[in-house]
A and B are shown apart, each in its own frame.
Chain A
Amino acid sequence: MVTGAFTIINSTGFHARPAGLFVETASRFRSVIKVVNGKQSADGKSVLGLMLLGAKPGAQIIIEAQGEDEAEALKTLAELIARRFGEEA
């Protein structure tokens, strides 16, 4: 299993669109992906679960990936967060 901690830096946090993009990206991988925000965790392939984490901008989240393509999955998701989910600067 690989894990990484990331800060959500887009302007709205895990809102509908960013959560949707996260799920679309996570679903491209076979690995099981879990997202943890504080005491709560969610399936990284569940848009409802991700939104219900209520992760706001500035929140520290932890992503855990487990499976054959875990390293690639974590790297791709980290890039998505760093790109602010494609939000304009």
Chain B
Amino acid sequence: MEQVLKGVPAAPGIALGRARIRRETGKRRAEPRAADAAEELAALHAAAEQTAAQLREIICRVASRTSPKEAGIFKMQLLALEDPLFMDAVKALILGDCCTAEDAVDRAVLALAEKFRNLDDPRLQERAADVRDVGQRLIKNLAGAPDSGQPEAGILFAVSLAPSEVSLLEPTQVTAIVTEAGSATGHAAILARALNICAVMGLKDALIRVCEGDPVLVDGTSGEVFLHPEESTIESCRLRHGREEAMLARLAAQKELPAITLDGFRVELAANIAGPRGVPAALAAGAESVGVVRTEFLFLERDTMPSEEEQFAAYREIVSGMAPRRVIIRTLDLGADKELPYCQLARERNPALGLRGVRLCLRQEQIFGTQLRAIVRAACFGNGAIMLPMISDISEVRRTKEILGRFAAPRVPLGIMIETPAAAIMAPDLAAEVEFFSIGTNDLVQYVLAVDRLDENLADLYQPFHPAVLRLIRAVCEAAHGHGKWVGICGEMAADPRAVALFLGLGVDELSMDPRSIPAIKSVIRQTRRSETIALTEEVLALNNAPQIVSRLESYLRQVAGTSQA
């Protein structure tokens, strides 16, 4: 019967085949060599030379099959093998503690791996796996055991696979790997991706559940492993995989193209992300910048406030990962609807109208100052900017500028979100204070229409295309451009294909959205003529109700899509 196991997706793709299980052989020489340390040292020396030769061969092999970057993993292992910190420890154990060479290597590796595990950088912690890889290879060579041969064609199951073991796999034979240990960021996973072998890792008890020769379907994209898969599962997995491939191909084809109208008006398409992990997705989708980094991810679900260093490290990773593209970091946007154990907030009757966003930050100046300092420090690792949420009064901008003015650091561009009616109406004055606006449509709609956007009973009253909202957005765009500042849209409307014509007509400079929406919005922009949208926007803004506006925009969108297909 079909059984589904879920692990960590480590290398994408699907593979169908028979399970091939590799069990740890743990071959160990039982008897110590004759007696004296000299012989152990000689054995160690010979094994180290053999290991170095094998690693050099792996380096050549990997460099020719993948790229110099992956080969670098084994260059590091070679350096580690010859490293005095490692070799001197092994020799000392042989000479001082009368260990066999195998035991000495084992103990030295354990001690080193422990040191790596104690580092606070997760990516460095994983280098413990490389140290163990070198150690295992040395021990195998000491025992005179050959490299594990090429497994039978199929799907390789193992407790864990060392990077060098993965590098030796033949992708035409081993179409997928499943391991109990490991993670998506480890060197074994990096190599699997480079070799196009799909992989699921961190799947506990995998070896207990599977039997040699079982039919297995591996989905390295979702992290699912199906034992004895049904025909229907295989079929739906293949279909999904086909769609993903097609989407990736479309993305790739469009990725480098600008979001430009048929008559040459260019819009910047940006990504909304919530942490360093969003960077690869943003780049893959062809984002030209990051329009909003939601920094709440750093603050939620923890007992203590994130330190300046911790915040700096996260912001810097995003800013340098996107460089030279712009990255707009939004300061903490929380309110009383979220629990922060380290910052007691009074209960509020109506959190949406309460102490949230910049209001909260200005009351908790220590939290705010720390965050601003971390952003300012990170900004120079690329092109960083600061954005303040929930502005409703000009004094909030000025007080923030005062705090920023106290830092002895280069100036970082400052912008604000326009999401309260007060900010939208005061836009001409606010535009003089900041470098840019980003209109947060989700909140702006709720505040302009006085409709709680989380209340399902009011869903029909929550109308993003309400003329009151659209006319206010027009006023904000005019205010920004009147002061020579740029204006963007973040919020769900930015990713709504129906709104594209409207934003083009208003001359919006940037649209920031979930990276997955970028390709669709880009293709609409590339099929539209801005000259037409200006007239359309005039026409639509003269209407007095949302249903008419939506129907007009929808018919225009159909017309645009229709002409491009003809």
Contacts and interface: CB of A to CB of B under 8 A. Distances in A.
Contact of B324 (A12, A23, A46, A89): A89
A18 to B, nearest CB: 10
B79 A15 contact: no
Nearest to B316: A57
B131 A16 contact: no
Given A16-B76, A17-B76, A47-B83, A54 B119 contact: yes
Interface stretch (B40-48, B120-128, B506-514, B541-549): B120-128
A6 to B, nearest CB: 16
A40 to B, nearest CB: 11
Interface string A38-53: 0000010111110110
* Range of interface residues on A (Cβ < 8 Å): 20 to 34
A12 B232 CA distance: 44
Interface in A35-89: 43, 45-49, 51-52, 54, 56-58, 89
Interface core residue of A11, A13, A16, A19 (most chain B CB under 10 Å): A16
B123 A12 contact: yes
Interface residues of B, number: 32
Nearest to A27: B79
Nearest to B119: A54
A50 B80 CA distance: 11
A58 B317 contact: no
Contacts of A51: 116, 124, 127
A87 B166 CA distance: 26
A17 B121 contact: no
Given A48-B83, A48-B112, A51-B116, 13 more contacts: A11-B317, A16-B72, A43-B85, A47-B76, A47-B80, A48-B85, A49-B83, A51-B127, A52-B116, A52-B119, A54-B120, A57-B320, A89-B324
21 contacts: A9-B381, A11-B316, A12-B123, A16-B76, A17-B69, A23-B79, A43-B84, A43-B85, A46-B83, A46-B85, A47-B79, A48-B83, A48-B86, A49-B85, A52-B85, A52-B115, A54-B120, A56-B121, A57-B313, A57-B320, A57-B381
Shortest 5 CB-CB distances between A and B: which pairs?
Answer: A11-B320, A47-B79, A16-B76, A48-B85, A20-B76
